[in-house]
Structure 1
Amino acid sequence: MTARPEPQPLLLRNGRLLDPVTGTYAEGDLLAVDGRIAETGPGVTAPAGAEVRDLRGGFVLPGLIDAHVHVTAITADLASLGTTSPFYIGAHAARIMGGMLDRGFTAVRDVAGADYGIAAAQADGAIRGPRVFFGGRALSQTGGHGDDRGPGADPLPAWSGSRIADGIEAVRAAARDELRKGSHHIKVMASGGVASPTDRIDSVQYSMDELRAVVDEAQAVNRYVCAHAYTARAVNRALEAGIRSIEHGNLIDASSVSLLVERDAFLVPTLVTYWALKKEGRQFGLPEGSWRKVDEVLDAGLSALDLAYRGGVRLAYGTDLLGGMHRHQSEEFRIRAQVQPPIDIVRAATCAAAELLRAEGQLGTLAAGAHADVIVLDGDPLQDIGLLADPAAHMPLVIQAGAVVRQR
C-alpha cells in the first residue's frame, strides 16, 4: 500500500471563515500545509511554492460530515447485495463516494456495510471520496432489521451489511470480531425497520442483556455503540443499555428526549431517506412490502426532530440514502430547515458530527491543527440554508486534506 502524497501548500485569501460553534464569521485567509490547517487570519504569508486562491469574500466552512451513510448500498434491494460480487459493489461504492465528495461531504460515518478496505482505499487515494468512519457489519437478531432474508430463505449471505448474532455470548463474539477489524463503532438493530422483510417497525429487538453486552465490548476498547431505533420504547431501551447514538428516532416521545439529554447521547435523524424512498424507492429496487412501511415513519420524522431540537438533544446530520437516491444527500439541509435555524443545521453537519465521531478538533472546524477539509460557498448559508442544498450551483470549491478536489 502507498500513502496519499501530501499536496503543496494552499492559501485561501479574502474569505469569510465560519466558526460553527459561535456561529460567527471572521474575514481573512486560511493556509493549509501538509494536509492540515496551519494558520488563519488577515494577511497570512504564503510559503514558497504555495498555491494561492483569492476567494473574493466567499463563505468558508469546514468540510461537511454525514453521520449516517451506507456507501455499499448500491441498491435499495438490500437482500440482493448478499449475492452480488463484492468487486461490483466496490466499484459502485467508489462512484457513490465521489458524489458525496462533490457535494462537500469530506467525511462520513458508515453505519453498516463499509469496512477497513474501503476506508484504507480512500485514505491511500485509490478511491476518491470522503474519509470513512466505518462500523463494519451491523449486529442483528434473527428476524431483525438487519436480517435481509425473506421467509423462505436460508443462511444470511456472507456479503451483507449485517450479521446475525443471537444470545449474549454470540453478540459479544460478533462485536469483538467487528472491533478486531478496526471498526470505529458498533451498530445494533434495536427495532424493526423499513427495508427489512420480516419484522414490524414497532417491534423491539435484542434483550437488554444482549444490548448491554455489546456496549461493554465497545467500551472495553474505547469505542461506542449506535442503534437503529424508531419508537420511544426501542430508543429508551437502547439508551438505558448505554448506547451513545440513536439512528432515526422518528417515533420518539418526551420520555426519549429526556433520556437523550440525561445520557448526553446523540440523535441522528435521517429525514431525507423517507422522502426519497416514498418518491423513488421502488424505482431503485425497494421491495413493495418495504415501500408500504415508509408511511409509518415519514410524517412523524419532522415532528420528532422538532421535539428533540426544542428539548436540547445533541443532533448530528444523517441521510441513510440507498442506491440511486444518494444524489439527494444535500436535501436534508432543506428538510431540517422547516424546524431548525440554519446555524444549528450547519453545526449538525460540522462540529456536532465531529464530536459524535470523536474527531473534535480534527474535523468540523477551521481551527489551526485540524484537517484542511474545507468548502467554499458563494453566499451565506446562515441566511439561506438552500445554498448547501444545491452544491452544484453554490459550492465553487471543495478542499480535502489541503488539496482542491472539486472546483466549479
Structure 2
Amino acid sequence: MADAALVLTNARVLDVEAGRLIDGRSVFVRGGRIGEVSDRPETPDDGAVIDCGGRTLMPGLIDAHVHVMVSELDIGRLKTMPATLAAVRAAPILSGMLDRGFTTVRDTGGADHGLKEAVASGPLRGPRLFIAGKAISQTGGHVDYRSPVEHGPATCGCCSGIDLLSHIADGVSDMLRGVREQLRRGADHIKLTVSGGIASPSDPFDSLQFTAEEIAAAVKAATDWGVYVCAHAYSAAAIRRALECGVRSIEHGNMIDAPVAALAAERGAFVVPTLATYESFDQHGAEYGMAAAALAKNAGVFDAGLKSLETCRSAGVELGFGTDLLGPFHALQGREFLIRGQAMPAADVIRSATIVNARLLRRENDLGRIAPGMIADLILVDGNPLDDLGLFQDGGAHIPLVIQDGRIVKDLGITAGKEK
C-alpha cells in the first residue's frame, strides 16, 4: 500500500540538479511521497526497509513525447484496427515503459482519458499519463492519414485505431471546436502539427501547416482552459510561426536555426528532440515495411537533429526528453540517452529526462527530483549513469527496482525476503 512506510537505505542518491552522486543516503517514503532524505537510516514500525546495496537511486524517468496507442510502424494499418484492439495493444507498450524506468510519460496523440484512468486506477500497469487526446491537423497535414487517392472525408472519429490519433480542422472556428473537444475529453495539453512530417502520406516535409491565426486561436483556447500547446514542427519557419503564436513546446525541431533558437529561449519555450525514432527508421524501417516515401523523408533528419541539440544549448533553450517511437521500436526507448550523449554531457541528458520534463509538465513540485515532499517515483540503477548512459538500454535490465507513487512496481530480486 502507498500509505505504508518504505525506507531505502545504503543508496547513492543522484542529485540531478547538481549532477552528482551522494553516497550513504536513506530515503524515507510514506503516503506515496518522499518524507526525508538523510544519512541516518530510519526503521519504520510498519512497511519495509530495502537495502540498495550501494546502487544509484534516482528519480523516475519522464518521456515527453510518446504515442502509446501506435502499435504498428505503418500507421495506416490502424485504419482497419478496432479502437478497442488498439487500446488493448497499448498495454504491453505501457508496461514496457515502466520496466525501462519511465514512471511518467506525455502522450502527444492517441491516448485518451479512459486509458489514463485505467493506468491511474490500477487495471493497466504503466507510467503516469499526461494526454493530448487527438493531435490536431489541417486537411492534408501531418496527421491526416488519408492517402492521396482517398477522396472522401476523414473517418467518423470513433471506431478505428486511427480515429484516436487525429482531428482535422480548417479555419479558426474549426480549430476552436477541435481544441475545445480535446479539453472537454480531459486533455492535459493540446497537440498541433504545424509542419510536414516523415510518417504522413501526403504532406511535403518542409511544408508550413496552419495559419498564424489558426495557431493563435488554439493557443488562446488552451490558455483560457489553463493548459498549453505543443507543436510538431521541423523547419525553422514552422517553429518561428509557432513560437510567435505562443506555442510552449516544440516537438522535434530538427531544422531549427540560431535566430529561431534565440526566440525560443526568449519566449521560455521548450524544444523536445526525438532522435531515437529517426535512427530506428534508418536502421530498421525497410525491414518492417516502412513506406519508401517516408524513408526518403527521413534521410538527413537524424544528423540535423544532432546539430539542433548544440544550436538549442548554445541559445539557452531548455531541451526536454522525448522518443516518438512507433510500433516495434518502442523497445528502443533507452537509445535516446546514448544518442544525446554524443552531443551533451550525461548529466544534462539525465536532467532532460527528469527535472526539465517535470517543468515542461508544470509538475516540478512533484516530479523529477529526490527531495522531501516530492512524489516517490524512484528507480534503482546498477551502476553510475553519469558515467554510462547505456545503463538505460536493454529493456530495463540494469534497473532492478522501480517505485511509482511509493509502490514497488518492478522488483528483480532487490526486496527478496523483505517485508512488502
Aligned partner of 1:143 among 128, 137, 140? 140
The answer to which of 245-254 and 280-289 deviates more is: 280-289
Quote the residue 2:20 is aligned against. Answer: 24
Counterpart Cα distance in 2 of 1:361 and 1:16:
22
Percent of aligned positions that are identical: 46
Counterpart Cα distance in 2 of 1:204 and 1:392:
39
C-alpha distance after superposition, 1:126-148 (max 9, x if no partner): 11000000000011000000100
Quote the residue 1:14 is aligned against. Answer: 10
C-alpha distance after superposition, 1:65-108 (max 9, x if no partner): 00000000111211221331112111110100000000000000
Counterpart Cα distance in 1 of 2:168 and 2:306:
31
Contact kept, 8 Å, 2:212 with 2:241, in 1: the verdict is: yes
Contact kept, 8 Å, 1:284 with 1:323, in 2: the verdict is: no
1:2-401 map, 5 Å: 6=2, 8-27=4-23, 28-153=25-150, 154-157=152-155, 158=157, 159-390=163-394, 392-401=396-405
Counterpart Cα distance in 2 of 1:309 and 1:386:
22
Contact kept, 8 Å, 2:96 with 2:395, in 1: the verdict is: no
Question: Unaligned regions of 5+ residues in structure 2, if any?
Answer: 158-162, 413-420
Quote the residue 2:415 is aligned against. Answer: none
**Counterpart code for 1:137:** K
Counterpart Cα distance in 2 of 1:392 and 1:185:
29
Counterpart Cα distance in 2 of 1:392 and 1:177:
37
Contact kept, 8 Å, 1:75 with 1:284, in 2: the verdict is: no
Contact kept, 8 Å, 1:70 with 1:114, in 2: the verdict is: yes
C-alpha distance after superposition, 1:188-224 (max 9, x if no partner): 0000000110001100100000000000001001100
**Counterpart code for 1:30:** V
Contact kept, 8 Å, 2:132 with 2:191, in 1: the verdict is: yes
CA apart distance, 1:25:
2.8
SS of structure 2 residue aligned to 1:395 = coil
Counterpart Cα distance in 2 of 1:93 and 1:281:
21
Counterpart Cα distance in 2 of 1:344 and 1:217:
34
TM-score, structure 1 as length reference: 0.96
The answer to which of 378-387 and 228-237 deviates more is: 378-387
Counterpart Cα distance in 2 of 1:173 and 1:119:
23
Counterpart Cα distance in 2 of 1:10 and 1:318:
31
Counterpart Cα distance in 2 of 1:9 and 1:160:
40
CA apart distance, 1:151:
1.1
TM-score, structure 2 as length reference: 0.94
CA apart distance, 1:287:
2.3
Counterpart Cα distance in 2 of 1:142 and 1:44:
60
**Counterpart code for 1:150:** S
Counterpart Cα distance in 1 of 2:177 and 2:397:
48
SS of structure 2 residue aligned to 1:6 = coil
CA apart distance, 1:7:
5.7
SS of structure 2 residue aligned to 1:394 = coil
**Counterpart code for 1:8:** A
SS of structure 1 residue aligned to 2:120 = helix
**Counterpart code for 1:148:** Y
CA apart distance, 1:121:
0.3
Counterpart Cα distance in 1 of 2:337 and 2:3:
31
Contact kept, 8 Å, 1:14 with 1:56, in 2: the verdict is: yes
The answer to which of 127-136 and 300-309 deviates more is: 300-309
**Counterpart code for 1:389:** Q
SS of structure 1 residue aligned to 2:84 = helix
Counterpart Cα distance in 2 of 1:393 and 1:72:
24
CA apart distance, 1:156:
2.2
Counterpart Cα distance in 2 of 1:183 and 1:286:
30
Counterpart Cα distance in 2 of 1:155 and 1:294:
28
C-alpha distance after superposition, 1:172-201 (max 9, x if no partner): 111011011111100100000001100011
Contact kept, 8 Å, 2:379 with 2:403, in 1: the verdict is: yes
CA apart distance, 1:296:
4.1
Contact kept, 8 Å, 1:7 with 1:403, in 2: the verdict is: no
CA apart distance, 1:391:
5.4
Counterpart Cα distance in 1 of 2:202 and 2:382:
47
Q: Residues 286 and 334 of structure 1: is their aligned pair in 2 closer, same or farther, counting only changes over 3 Å?
A: same
Counterpart Cα distance in 2 of 1:373 and 1:177:
32
Question: Unaligned regions of 5+ residues in structure 1, if any?
Answer: none
C-alpha distance after superposition, 1:6-54 (max 9, x if no partner): 3632110010112211223333101111211121112242222211110
SS of structure 1 residue aligned to 2:64 = strand
